[in-house]
Amino acid sequence: MTTVLARPTRTSLNRPLMALAAVMVGTALVTGLLAVVAPVEITGTNGWLKPLKFSISIAVYAVTIAWLVDKLPEHRQRLGRAAAWVVVVGLVLEMVVIVGAVAAGTTSHFNVSSPLAGGLWALMGFSIAAVWLVTLALAALLWRSADADAARLLAIRAGLVIGLAGMAVAFLMTSPTPDQLDDFAGIAGAHAVGVPDGGAGLPLLGWSTTGGDLRVPHFVGMHALQALPLLVLALEALSRRVPALRDAALRLRVVAVAAVGYAVLVVLLTLQALAGIPVTDLLG
């Protein structure tokens, strides 16, 4: 039996998740300032840019998950609150390791050069796996729910599925590269494919311009969580000026086409990265 999404009666979104988002905004401001006044060079790039990017991404993710938790029916809110705490704890642990590594002048990701570094990397991996599983559980809880607007429901469902796939791309980065296996130097895994990490890359994003980079499909796929629901909101806003968009069936078709296109894009970007082709070849 299909359950109708409850109209939220709460006056605010999940507090722990919104607090996490606020802390990440503050972290982004601080690390952005440090990137300017006290840069730390790590693998050829400004180390403070990593926690800056992660804090922005986590802030957006936390607000999105808070919104999705609020969509749960009342009888599932307890599960939603538990999921929120797992997300908060997992992402705080990840950020502590990332910021601590930059402060120490070393890398956080793929670093197994010492028992401490390996333990911290394993902790990050465990935290991210937990966050991924919680997002999967949230998708399952929302899947059988219904919304008065089919386009909205499709956007949430497709956004979660594509977002989970995008998040899962990160697991492809954790295998040692052939060069690392031939000459182990304490690093096991890489963002780039076909070239070492830390080479020429796009400004701020750091995506490799000389080889493939799995961060591209990871980023694009993960943010389907925001892109598709925002598309629905945009269509609903435009419907006030475009009468054709007042047709719920038309909005549903637009979202369906966008979701399929988005999924195909993530697949193509993943294959491109695995083939060692720079994203700039696609952009150019």
Mean pLDDT of the chain: 87
Give per-residue pLDDT as tens, 246-281: 888 999 999 999 999 999 999 999 999 999 899 888
Residue 12 three-state SS? coil
pTM of the model: 0.85
101 belongs to a structural domain:
yes
Domain end (from 145, 172, 192): 145
Verify that 87 and 19 share a domain, yes or no: yes
Do 136 and 40 share a structural domain?
A: yes
In this structure, is residue 6 part of a structural domain? no
Question: What does the pLDDT look like over 144-187, one tens digit per residue?
Answer: 765 568 898 899 999 999 999 999 998 888 888 787 777 777 77
- CA 134, CA 162: separation in Å to the nearest integer? 15
- The first and second tokens of residue 29, run together, are 């401001």
pLDDT at 1: 38
Is 1 among the domain residues? no
Reported as a single tens digit per residue, the pLDDT across 57-94 is 999 999 999 988 888 888 888 888 999 999 999 999 99
Instruction: Decide if 223 is inside a domain.
Output: yes
| pLDDT value for 6 | 43
58: left (phi over 0), alpha (psi -120 to 50) or beta: alpha
**Do 128 and 77 share a structural domain?**
yes
**7 in any annotated domain:** no
179 and 268 both lie in a single domain: yes
Instruction: Clarify whether residues 161 and 88 are in a common domain.
Output: no
- 3 belongs to a structural domain: no
User: Do 107 and 214 belong to one domain?
Assistant: no
Residues 25 and 141 in one domain: yes
Kindly indicate the confidence band of residue 284, based on its pLDDT and cuts at 50, 70 and 90: low
Task: Identify the domain containing residue 255 by its residue range.
Answer: 149-284
Residues 128 and 180 grouped into a single domain = no
- Shared domain for 174 and 73, answered yes or no, is no
Q: pLDDT at residue 245 above 60? A: yes
Residue 176 lies in a domain: yes
Domain co-membership, 236 together with 120:
no
CB 155 within 8 A of CB 259: yes
How many folded domains does the chain comprise? 2
**Which residue, 122, 145, 168, sits at the end of a domain?**
145
**138 and 156 share a domain?**
no
Give which of 277, 268, 270, 279 is closest to 202, Cα–Cα: 279
Q: Do 137 and 183 have their domain in common?
A: no
* 187 assigned to some structural domain: yes
DSSP 72: S
Please identify, among 96, 112, 145, the residue that sits at the C-terminal boundary of a domain. Answer: 145
